[in-house]
């Protein structure tokens, strides 16, 4: 699908998409059918409700009217709803569309932001999973979207396209079943990205390599599975060789049964999404492959399965991490923090400018925040503020969470340096998990994103988040 610009004075072909507000019909100005459309709106035969699409056949030019609600309430969310509905409604019927965009700029946003969001939301809305279906999703008929505006901005559109492509990569990896998307599959996917783009280099550590490094925490999770674990290290070199890299660490549990602490059977099929952090990191690296920013980024993906077997770790076992810290395993279903502990220690060797780990870490975060914001933890206030600002700018929002020393006592053990769950049942589970990770990120500036509530939405599948937030964060670093 292509995007181009045209001014209001230029002749256009194809259907013209006209946003109509309940209390502002300025977009109708100059249309030959203006009076007729206004009458139909007054008679409530054409809806101005946000996202409602109404075709209007005109002898001069076919029109598509899309409701935008009340102008004073036209927010970022209303824009996204409008674009998503347009993309899905028209994808099988319209080859070329022209959209009046200047009237769609939300308050406190500008035309560049709006163009990026329209492009991103349009393309990401067209994603449809069909890899394991015998009947494939029809290709969208919409080949061209023309932005009608005086404000041409190709860079804004390019950014939106790249983010959408990265989000769709993330969605597809998340939606794949775990018998296909294994740790080996993720490693091959990353290797293909490196093969296609000269800016990337890849190294995949096998279990023997991890054993030699002393990654007892990581390996305690994978030992119950027949699928070999992988530590995938994908490096993007866009900056100077001596420039400190920004490191993204993704939790890649391609299936999480809970291990010996077995999860309930109902809903366990969704545990294929426990590699949402890894998927988001790979999606973000895909964005970098398109935008090619001048900075260095390293992806570290801790990929494994958590399965019950005679070899599996047991509650009460004590393991030694790569850092030398010992860990009492209280619950084998708190496995994500165990693989991340060693991945975070491994990140030290790169002398990073920052490290951000991304993980579907705890169900507790959904209890606390629901499914709208990503939980943001950090050992540095500036990094926390940067991620929150990136989330607000990309409209992939986060919410700050505490890492007070008060919680440290809840992850101490009489039998090891740390325990892998909090000592107070069900209290602050997302926080104590983050506190555990903090113990392995003491040597650099670090943040943790708990995306258990935002990486997927039940039967709707993977969301592609937080690729927009991560992209905006990295691009802001490039601008420094």
Q: What is the percent of the chain with per-residue pLDDT over 70, rounded to a whole number?
A: 100
101: DSSP letter: -
Which one from 71, 263, 325, 443 is the annotated catalytic residue? Answer: 263
- The Cα–Cα gap between 274 and 420 comes to 18
Which neighbouring-strand residues pair with 357? 249, 448
Condensed to tens digits (0 to 9), the pLDDT of residues 435-455 reads 999 999 999 999 999 999 999
Q: What is the pLDDT of residues 23-74, one digit of tens each?
A: 999 999 988 899 999 999 999 999 999 899 999 987 677 899 999 999 999 9
Phi, then psi, of 260 in degrees rounded to 5: -60, -35
Judge whether 337 counts as a catalytic residue: yes
| Structural contact between residues 400 and 384, judged by C-beta atoms closer than 8 angstroms | yes
Residue for token digits 């080996």?
184
Residue 81 has pLDDT above 80, yes or no: yes
Comparing CA positions, the residue from 275, 270, 218, 282 lying closest to residue 252 is: 275
pLDDT digits (tens, 9 = 90+) for 179-225: 999 999 999 999 999 999 999 999 999 999 999 999 999 999 999 99
Q: How far is it, in rounded angstroms, from Cα 411 to Cα 398?
A: 25
Give the per-residue pLDDT at 59.
Answer: 63
Rounded Cα distance between 393 and 116, Å, is: 11
How far is residue 271's CA from residue 412's CA, in Å, rounded to a whole number? 28
Q: Cα separation of 199 and 473, whole Å? A: 20
Q: And the tokens for 328? A: 């009492």
Q: Which of 171, 223, 251, 337 is catalytic?
A: 337
Q: In which band, very low, low, confident or very high, does the pLDDT at 88 lie, cut at 50, 70 and 90? A: very high
Q: Give the global pTM.
A: 0.97
State the alpha helices, DSSP H only, in 43-75: none
């Amino acid at each position: 699908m292509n995007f181009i610009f045209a001014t209001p004075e230029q002749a256009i072909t194809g259907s013209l998409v006209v946003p109509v507000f309940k209390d502002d019909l300025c977009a109708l100005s100059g249309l030959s059918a203006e009076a007729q459309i206004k009458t139909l709106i007054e008679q409530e035969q054409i809806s101005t409700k946000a996202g409602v699409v109404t075709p209007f056949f005109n002898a001069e030019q076919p029109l598509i009217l899309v409701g935008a609600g009340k102008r004073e309430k036209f927010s970022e969310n209303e824009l996204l709803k409008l674009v998503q509905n347009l993309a899905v409604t028209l994808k099988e019927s319209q080859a070329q569309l022209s959209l009046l965009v200047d009237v769609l700029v939300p308050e406190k946003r500008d035309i560049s932001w709006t163009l990026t969001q329209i492009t991103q939301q349009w393309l990401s809305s067209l994603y449809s999973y069909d890899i394991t279906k015998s009947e494939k999703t029809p290709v969208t008929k919409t080949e061209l979207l023309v932005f009608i505006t005086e404000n041409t901005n190709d860079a804004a559109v390019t950014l939106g396209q790249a983010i959408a492509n990265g989000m769709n990569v993330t969605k597809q990896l998340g939606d794949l079943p775990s018998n296909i998307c294994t740790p080996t599959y993720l490693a091959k996917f990353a290797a293909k990205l490196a093969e296609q783009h000269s800016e990337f280099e890849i190294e995949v550590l096998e279990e023997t390599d991890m054993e030699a490094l002393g990654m007892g925490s990581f390996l305690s999770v994978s030992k119950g599975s027949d699928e070999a674990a992988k530590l995938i290290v994908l490096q993007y070199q866009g900056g100077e060789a001596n420039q400190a890299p920004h490191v993204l660490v993704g939790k890649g549990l391609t299936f999480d049964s809970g291990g010996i602490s077995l999860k309930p059977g109902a809903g366990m099929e969704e545990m294929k999404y426990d590699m949402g952090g890894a998927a988001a990191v790979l999606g973000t690296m895909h964005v970098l492959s398109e935008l090619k920013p001048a900075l260095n980024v390293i992806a570290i993906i801790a990929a494994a399965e958590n399965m019950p077997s005679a070899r599996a770790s047991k509650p009460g076992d004590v393991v030694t991490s790569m850092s030398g810290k010992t860990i009492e395993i209280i619950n084998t279903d708190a496995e994500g923090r165990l693989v991340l502990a060693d991945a975070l220690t491994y990140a030290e060797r790169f002398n990073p400018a920052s490290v951000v780990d991304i993980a579907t870490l705890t169900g507790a975060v959904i209890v606390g925040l629901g499914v709208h914001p990503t939980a943001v933890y950090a050992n540095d206030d500036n990094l926390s503020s940067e991620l929150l600002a990136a989330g607000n700018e990309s409209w992939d929002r986060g919410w700050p969470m505490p890492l007070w020393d008060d919680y440290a006592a809840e992850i101490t053990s009489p039998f090891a340096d740390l325990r892998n769950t909090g000592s107070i049942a069900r209290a602050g589970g997302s926080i104590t998990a983050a506190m555990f990770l903090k113990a392995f990120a003491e040597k650099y500036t670090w943040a943790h994103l708990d995306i258990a509530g935002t990486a997927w939405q039940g039967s709707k599948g993977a969301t592609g988040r937080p690729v927009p937030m991560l992209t905006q964060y990295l691009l802001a670093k490039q601008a420094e």
